[in-house]
Homo-oligomer: A and B are copies of this chain.
């Protein structure tokens, strides 16, 4: 019912392009998304099974003569809604940019969805807010350790924000 974790969203995204069976989903994942995300075959099968239980996908069997039957998964309307909802939401932490936010950008581009700059702006908003909070937090310079931790957070968030602003140029849409 719940699934807050993201791998299922990635699988939904792949199925947004059309029905596929488990092996195919994994191949796509490995060839197109491997630079920022990895999932084992077994996990793909397990996730698809769970997602079917949750009504995000449905499957039908396709018999083949010389090979085991394929189980072809299609995304349901509920799945589509869920996916789009996810795709246009910013992530909460800097640490989620590398995989989860990347995946959102990837699918928005891959599925030719509108509003890339919208989500980038939302993400900038979230991180800017975090940066302001960190800057104003009292634990600034209690000791060397606090100071180091503080400057790490500032540095990582600032560099993420710079990158997001660059992104708007990379993904410029008219």
Interface residues of A (CB under 8 A from B): 35-36, 95, 97-98, 102, 105-106, 109, 139, 144-149, 151-153, 155-156, 158-160, 162-163, 166-167, 170-171
Given A102-B149, A147-B170, 18 extra CB contacts under 8 A: A35-B139, A35-B146, A97-B152, A98-B152, A102-B152, A105-B145, A109-B144, A109-B145, A148-B163, A148-B166, A148-B171, A151-B166, A152-B163, A155-B160, A156-B156, A156-B159, A156-B163, A159-B159
| Pairwise interchain contact A155-B159, C-beta atoms closer than 8 A | yes
Known: A145-B105, A149-B36, A163-B151. A98 touches B156 (CB 8 A): yes
Number of copies: 2
| Pairwise interchain contact A98-B97, C-beta atoms closer than 8 A | no
- Please indicate the chain B residues that have their CB under 8 angstroms from the CB of A145 in the complex: 105-106, 109
Q: In the assembled complex, how far is the CB of residue A115 from the closest CB belonging to chain B, in whole angstroms?
A: 16
- Please indicate the chain B residues that have their CB under 8 angstroms from the CB of A105 in the complex: 145, 148
Contact check: which of B36, B95, B167 meets A98 at CB < 8 Å? B95
List the 9 closest A-B pairs by CB distance, nearest first.
Answer: A159-B159, A144-B170, A155-B163, A155-B159, A148-B170, A152-B163, A109-B145, A148-B167, A147-B170
| Pairwise interchain contact A35-B159, C-beta atoms closer than 8 A | no
A167 to B151, CA, bound (A): 9
- Please indicate the chain B residues that have their CB under 8 angstroms from the CB of A153 in the complex: 98
